[in-house]
Chains A and B, each alone.
Chain A
Amino acid sequence: MERAPLLEARKIRKRFPGTLALDGVDLSVLPGEIHAVMGENGAGKSTLLNILTGSLSHDEGQILVKGQEVNFRTPVEARANGLAIVHQELSLFPAVSVMENVLVGRSIARMGLMDRKQMAPLVRSYLSKFDATFGPETIVKNLSVSQQQIVEIVKALVMEADVYIFDEPTSALSVEDAEKLFVVLRQLRQQGKGIIYVSHKFDEIFDLSDRVSVLRDGRLIGTSSVSEVAPEDVIKMMVGRSLDRIYPEKTDHTGKKLMEVTDLNAGVRCHNVSFDLYEGEILGVFGLVGAGRTEIMRALAGIDPKTGGQVVLNGKHLRIRSIQDAISHGIFYLTEDRKQQGLYLKLSIRDDIASVHLEALTKRGFFQTKSASTIATEVMQELRVKASSVNQLINSLSGGNQQKVMIGKWLLRKPRILILDEPTRGIDVGAKAEIHQLLRRLANEGIGVVFISSELPEIVGLSDRVLVIYDGGVAGTLTGGDINDETIMEYASGLHIQELVR
């Protein structure tokens, strides 16, 4: 049966400064089809969705809606052409009622006043599909995250579009609400609508969708019928790549146990996390976006409050109740948000570095500027920071050099455990390699190195062991031959957990 696609993207190419985000991607959605799109973090899924719905422009290629070429310049134009999208991030107005959120920009008005009598039943009819326990008049900020996600979905449904695009709709939904969403999706399919469904969750995709397309590094690796592929094949498509970069040689971690974390609990994305860290090893921490990697490490480092769990360092129980406690035990956390939270952009290299050495730089309550310069110079030489002097502003350094300052300022404080969150994000290849070498050197010096990364090749290339996080918990700890793209991705997608449950 040959059906004309409702939406078709042909050879879409999009270049961002420094990267080719999309390289000739094709994608089509047929009437009555659920088309899943999968790929690693940064594979280009969001860029593609944004281009399809007019939030971004494409450099090359065509977009066709029901066979007609279109060129959306704004999301509004895409909406007018029958495309509705549910974004991953919630974009609701918290202080306003559900119905005003759902009908935002198209409120049904009479003489300039909102006609609640007409709006409410319309919105209610959609909410009932989810058996929602709240009504159209409820103020959004009083809803749970899952309920807000339902509002976000209803906002798209109410448009009665031809093609619906869902970007990880279930990441914020409770299990029950997700089930109801699946029912709705199947209804839409029956009505002949087209659905693009982005998710990391294999069980959903294999339950629900008709075809699956896999993106990797901005390229379409393949599109196949779900009945013809197995999850393992899809994972291979997602990660299959040649190791094109050289990483420092790994050591077999025969060192003694440095730290033992047991049943760490904190917030909503850290449940019963237990893991060990050995002297001299680099522990890679991998998880898909939203899995809770950062939350777990922040709790460990005393930044966010813990609700339970034990940390044993060198055989001693630690009481970490504040960030100062963690620092005093030599556990340092280096944030992923270098510019907003890690560095003082407006200050000089010296003053930035001095911020973590205030105690050492104090003499009778006064700050020792000369000693601060000495320390800063030491950091700059040690890590080969490219700057003309310690007086240069952090702001004017390249990303790689900023990262070096951030690591370097903590190094002189003799860390026992160094937790680095995305230490190579946004820095160039050369600096990246230098930081990899540095981490290996620190591990060899006996410092426990924990690093979080979203980049699989980096995790595989650098880690002695890999802690895979899924849904706020440890999905598995991988060693040796298990440290490969496919296995890590299987764990990160929760595949193994599902098997255990079944």
Chain B
Amino acid sequence: MQQQEPETTTLEGGAAAVDQQAERVSFIRRLTRIREFTILMVIVVLIIVLAVLNSTFLSPNNIVSTILSIVMMAIVSVGMTVALVSGGFDLSVGSVMSMSGVVAGSLVLGGMNVWLAVIIGLAASCLSGLITGLFIGKVRINPFIMTLGMQGVIQGVAYVVTQGAPVSVTGVSAGFLYLGQGNLLGIPVLIWILAVIVVVADYLMRRAVVARKVYYIGSNESAAYLSGIRVARAKIWIYIFTAILAGIAGILTLSRFSVASPTAGLGMELQAIAACIIGGASLSGGEGTVFGALLGSVLVGVVDDALVLLNVSVYWQSLVLGCVLIAAVTMDVLTHREKNS
């Protein structure tokens, strides 16, 4: 249900040379076939419209706060991209995000060194991903069922650890709080962290051999297996990776608000999947880029922000996000169909 070129012409997913003779199309036409380019255009148009309607939209403050509002979604989406590219997905990311925050927060509250607590919080996320990956890869349980189950299990852990109440941490080291609250060169550290994660992950997804295996598995799992790729092992790593990124988002949330809530990641799985799909990933696997997922997150953030600035009640957010997702996928299916006919 995705565009065929160029994401599929090369695994890099970028604007690689589409075969000239077989595809005699103009440069512009080809550019518009790149999913990222389309979203970028949509975002730019939206921004222009909003800037005209409301002068505060392009103020530095609003830009920063808009980006800040999507940091967690974007980080989780990076992990989700990998799962989607492999042909699976992960519904447990929201729970893992909550769980890693409350585990670390509770340990800090119990007197543990904050960095050690962070490592344990991330390790717990890792373990969750390992279990998910083992069941999906080795036992071959459907990712939908498995991660739905894990969503419940991990959410349960978060509730049990906190007895349902948010954990407020005080007196932790300034270094830890700097991650979520500090500024570097006038820009919030959180945004720097997001930038680093996106740039590194995007580069790895395009170039690393490990990531390439993920694309192979998502493109044709049987062929990947017959090519000698260790599919089960790769899947274990994929779900560990997804869980670690969700865990990082949970830790950063703790740092940002000095509070770990067992519901911090509530609904995050759907937001992240929406961002990835808007950004060009396919539920059938083999397609999707980290950069696309970032753009998808930005689009969602801009739409949310627009609703606020245009004084639309927050209760409309969910409705509008749903419409944007459906619109993105519909557009995709239609262009795909046109191309095939």
Contacts and interface: CB of A to CB of B under 8 A. Distances in A.
Nearest to A392: B19
Interface stretch (A210-218, A267-275, A364-372): A364-372
By CB atoms of chain B within 10 A, which of A335, A340, A343, A358 has the most? Answer: A358
Given A303-B226, A333-B226, A342-B226, A351 B209 contact: no
A355 B216 contact: yes
B225 interface: yes
Contacts, number: 91
Contacts of A335: 222, 226
Interface in A319-345: 323-324, 327, 333, 335, 337, 340-345
A344 B216 contact: yes
Q: How large is the interface on B (under 10, 10 to 19, 20 to 34, 35 or more residues)?
A: 20 to 34
A346 B286 CA distance: 9
Contacts of A358: 209, 212-213, 229
Given A367-B207, A393-B4, A388 B20 contact: yes
A351 B11 contact: yes
A348 B13 CA distance: 12
Interface in B1-48: 4, 8-12, 16-22
B124 to A, nearest CB: 27
Contacts of A389: 17, 19-20
B171 interface: no
A393 B3 CA distance: 13
By CB atoms of chain A within 10 A, which of B16, B216, B228, B286 has the most? Answer: B228
B223 A355 contact: yes
A356 interface: yes
Given A366-B207, A367-B208, A345 B22 contact: no
A347 interface: yes
Contacts of A343: 220, 223
A362 interface: yes
A361 B209 contact: yes
A369 to B, nearest CB: 7
Contact of A323 (B4, B207, B215, B226): B226
A396 interface: yes
Contacts of B224: 355
20 contacts: A323-B225, A323-B228, A341-B222, A344-B216, A346-B219, A348-B8, A350-B10, A351-B10, A351-B215, A354-B212, A355-B223, A358-B209, A358-B212, A358-B229, A366-B209, A367-B212, A369-B10, A388-B19, A392-B19, A392-B22
Lowest 9 A-B CB distances belong to which pairs? A341-B222, A327-B228, A344-B219, A362-B209, A388-B21, A355-B227, A346-B8, A392-B19, A356-B227
Interface of A: 303, 323-324, 327, 333, 335, 337, 340-348, 350-351, 354-356, 358, 361-362, 365-367, 369, 388-389, 391-393, 396
Interface of B: 4, 8-12, 16-22, 207-210, 212-213, 215-216, 219-220, 222-230, 286
